Amino acid sequence: MLPGPQEMLREDPNRAGVNTHIYEFIDEVYTPAPKGYKPVYLSHYGRHGSRCDGGFAGYDYVLEALKQAQAEGILTEDGAALLEETRKVIAEWDCCPAHLTERGVYEEQELGRRVYKANKDIFKKGNKKVRVELSTVPRSIISMSAFTTTMASLQPDLNFSYDCGERYFGYIDNGFSSPHRKVSKKLMEEMLSRESPDFDALFSRLFTDAERGKVLAVDKERFNKYVWQIAKTAQASGLTENVFRHLPEEVTYYYWNKTVHEIYFNHGNSVECGADRMARTEPLVRDILTKAEEALTQGTVCADLKFGHDFPLMATAGYFGLEEVGARLSFDEIAEKWYNPRNIPLASNMQLVFYRNAKGRVLVKFVYNGVERHLYDLKAVETVYYDWEEVKARFMPRALRLATLEWQDGGNGLEYAVVQEPVFGAMQSISVLRFKASEHTLDVIDAPAELSDSTSALAQKAGALAAINGSYFNVKALTPTTYVKDAGVQKGVTEDSELFRVDGMFVTNGNGLRIRRCGQEAYSQYAEGYAEALGAGPILLSDSREIIAAWPRTGFYADRHPRTVIGSDDKGYVYLMVIDGRFKEGIGTTISETAQIARMVGMTEALNLDGGGSSTLWLEGKGVLSHPYDNKKYDGYGQRIVPNIVVVR
């Protein structure tokens, strides 16, 4: 049993760095597989190895004060030692922030050896193909190289394939949302307001004249913080000295406590914000599980190796509910229940190891940082071995279930579905309509500002069968801010202010729908020959692929909002879809989540239209199917006045 957090830090103060602490290797002991089961496949996610600090981290702030004190002859022996240690950390950093250090290379080589040794029967007796995907960040690339090169040296006939790019980075490196960040900031401020460590004590340790030392340091709290930041990556930077020895114990604990709360609350499965954070790791979980299923059924590879970062690894451990590291805790429980120094050190790693018997049944076990882990929410078949079918049923993201929508007859050859269920870890309310392109026409209606109206009102005036709101517009002037072509007449242009999200358009001559990628200057050209066109974006799907390469991870893209989508499939259907948002009954989605839902309901081509308070889907005889947000009530009556819509005739 672990000692408490204070005792853990006294045993080794270097652990105070939490996620910047070096990997502590242990003697790994594994439970034999149940009788008759042979290892057949390995899925691995590894965080990069030890690195230097990600920024300059106040090095110059500390260095300047200590050098001046040395010049004035007021450095103590401790102060002189810290000055030299600071110089060593800076030398390792050397204008290469967050680069992999020699210690990091060693860790990845040793982990490659250990993972291979623990699973060598998979590599020796099965398919020799090993599929590798990784983050685009250099420290991950070098970590992968050290890991796989070691494996290759142990078994030269292994066949590695490598992929690295934004497509993979989008799910390998997932983060947390802006609303989550706001909750985190508030709770952290409240906690820290109750803490008051003695920031004066450090100066008596470093300076013979403590008061002069405070003057040189300018701000005593910042100085303490920066010394802590130097100390937390000292081991990773190759120092054998315990730089934390310079700091008072209560200061070391203060910053450890702050860090462990931030890391767990922002990326663990917390009581307060865990549902939102778990949703953001669903693409990674989905990829891990679907690639495992593919490998098990098709025998395409013997192993999938992913190399990335700490935050998505933590979130994935929380998603699966791995014993200890994946515990579900409230903010107030973190320090006393989530302090194991092996929870998320540098080079942290997780494996799913799969076993099959002669009858074809598959079991899987979870290994995290060299320790077999039980799952909190699932019962093992035997010891640490879980039934693969039960794991899939429990953990496969629920968005996959949208592929089996129960379509209802909307009259006139239209079909619709309205669903409300947890998707991406939160309640979602989704309304979608589809029709055969060969049986109906699609039309853009753009109204002058003085005739702008709600989506349903404009649709009914036009004698439409169904309608959805159009693209982005100036809410005050009620004029479009994207390219619009209505009945062959151009009504709007895409403004510079919209280029951060508008990257395409849809065009139609009535029957069918074509989504085209184009820049600002190409809209008129790309709409030539078509009577109806509407600029919008971003493009969500192309040939059923989620287009993620250029999507930012903040704001409009990464926060959850109501969304409106138009799309088509390869079976001749056109789709209109609204995802409600900003209600407890329907949280809303990020752009990535919107693309996933569009694909799950059947679209292969999809374009994002105006969302937020504009999002409205209307069907003749049924009324408004979605729940527009403008009245901030989940009642279906909160439509916004809009200048353009898309109608079905």
pLDDT level of residue 558 (50, 70, 90 thresholds): confident
CA distances from 130 to 67, 150, 495 (A): 52, 14, 47
* Same domain assignment for residues 121 and 215: no
pLDDT of residue 42: 98
In the predicted model, what is the mean pLDDT of residues 153-165?
95
Residues belonging to the chain: 649
pLDDT of residue 238: 94
Per-residue pLDDT tens over the stretch 363-373:
999 999 999 99
* Same domain assignment for residues 501 and 438: yes
Helix (H), strand (E) at residue 257: helix 249-267
Could you please report the per-residue DSSP string of 209-253? SHHHHHHHHS-HHHHHHHHHHHHHTTTTTT--S-GGGGS-HHHHH
Could you please report the per-residue DSSP string of 332-392? GGHHHHS--TTSS-TT-EEEEEEEE-TT--EEEEEEETTEEE-BTTS--SBTTBEEHHHHH
pLDDT level of residue 593 (50, 70, 90 thresholds): confident
Residue at 257 is within a domain: no
Residue listed under structure tokens 């192309």: 542
* Same domain assignment for residues 582 and 447: yes
Quote the domain boundaries for residue 634: 414-648
The mean predicted confidence, pLDDT, of the chain is 93
Per-residue pLDDT tens over the stretch 456-515:
999 999 999 999 999 999 999 999 999 999 999 999 999 999 999 999 999 999 888 999
Q: Is the pLDDT of residue 421 over 90?
A: no
pLDDT of residue 550: 60
Q: Give the CATH number of the domain where residue 133 resides.
A: 3.40.50.1240
* Same domain assignment for residues 549 and 496: yes
DSSP letter, residue 504: E
pLDDT of residue 1: 53
Per-residue pLDDT tens over the stretch 393-413:
888 865 445 666 889 999 999
Asked which of 156-165, 246-255, 510-519 is least confident by mean pLDDT, the reply is 510-519
* Same domain assignment for residues 369 and 306: yes
Query: Model pTM?
Result: 0.75
* Same domain assignment for residues 121 and 207: no
Helix (H), strand (E) at residue 541: strand 539-542
CA 265/CA 273 separation, integer angstroms: 8
Residue at 259 is within a domain: no
* Same domain assignment for residues 135 and 237: no
pLDDT level of residue 214 (50, 70, 90 thresholds): very high
pLDDT of residue 23: 98
- Bond into 538 cis (ω within 30): yes
Nearby residues of 203 by Cβ (< 8 Å), 6 or more positions away: 210, 211, 213, 214, 217, 220
pLDDT of residue 401: 54
Q: Is the pLDDT of residue 155 over 70?
A: yes
* Domain count across the chain: 3
Residue at 455 is within a domain: yes
Residue at 633 is within a domain: yes
* Same domain assignment for residues 372 and 431: no
Phi, psi angle pair for 453, to nearest 5°: -160, -175
CA 165/CA 235 separation, integer angstroms: 31
Torsion of CA 35, 38, 41, 43, to 10 degrees: 30
Strands of 100-211 (E only): list them.
129-134, 159-164
* Same domain assignment for residues 112 and 73: no
- Over 441-457, what HEC string results? CEEEEECCHHHCECHHH
Nearby residues of 230 by Cβ (< 8 Å), 6 or more positions away: 57, 58, 59, 62, 82, 85, 86, 89, 243
- For residues 443 and 532, is the Cβ–Cβ distance under 8 A? yes
In the predicted model, what is the mean pLDDT of residues 580-602?
91
Tokens of 210: 């403590």
